Amino acid sequence: MLRARIIPCLLVHRKGLVKTVNFKEGKYVGDPINAVKIFNEKEVDELMIIDIDATVENRGPDFKMIKNVAVECRMPLCYGGGIRTVEDAVRIINLGAEKVAFSSLAIENPSMLKEIGSVIGLQSVVVVIDVKKKKILKGYDIYTHNGKKKCKLKLIDFLGELNSIGIGEVVINSIDNDGKMEGYDEELIAFVRDYTDSPLTVLGGAGNLNDIERLIHKYKVIGAAAGSLFVFKGKYRAVLINYPNREEKSKLFKTI
């Protein structure tokens, strides 16, 4: 089994970092470079940065921003947002990122993932799946464009397609739990875990380290990702970049 990782997920909006609740109400939490410098000091396992404007604005990646972040970053970096071509992905990897993440492209043109993987390696290709619970029936709907565009593709079918490609990693993100800090959606995790062959990272809802410990030990995921948990502190959600120290992490991983 791959070693589990604890991953801060940072959202870039209009050049700054924001944190959302249910993909809405983005609160400014700081400058990307300053956040990366602090996470360096805290010896973060991996960092995920998503430009949430790129696809919505129908533009490509902000390569200048990616370069600046990658130069500062001393941990593995995953970048997502606006990547549409093999050339985009190669350029981002060459700038220093270890992984590139896809959402809408993976649904609109999954064959492109295979093409990109043939050049940079499928282990570097990550698919982020943003989902909401169905309002009436059981199950989940997939959304893109910051939760604004509902997809007709069924989650179980999409996971099967990603399995056939041999994708490097799946990140499942609960829009319903986003930013609430009330815990991960365990029903969603159990479902996706049963239907994906890829290493799984879970995002959306972590409120404390106990949530991460439970996620890693009960569901054997390889990635516990969070946003609010690592940028807010206390019941008033004061902005404070934080991350478990070595002692705290050793306790989280003690039975793995």
| Nearest C-alpha neighbor of 228 from the set 27, 73, 88 | 27
Q: From CA 178, how far away is CA 19, in angstroms rounded?
A: 9
Catalytic residue among 130, 178, 185, 211: 130
- Intra-chain end-to-end CA distance of the chain, in Å: 9
| Nearest C-alpha neighbor of 193 from the set 164, 166, 165, 163 | 163
Residue-wise DSSP of 184-234:
--HHHHHHHHHH--S-EEEES---SHHHHHHHHHHH--SEEEESHHHHEET
Q: From CA 1, how far away is CA 239, in angstroms rounded?
A: 35
- The answer to whether 178 is a known catalytic residue is no
| Beta pairing, strands 149-154 & 140-144 | antiparallel
What residues act catalytically? 130
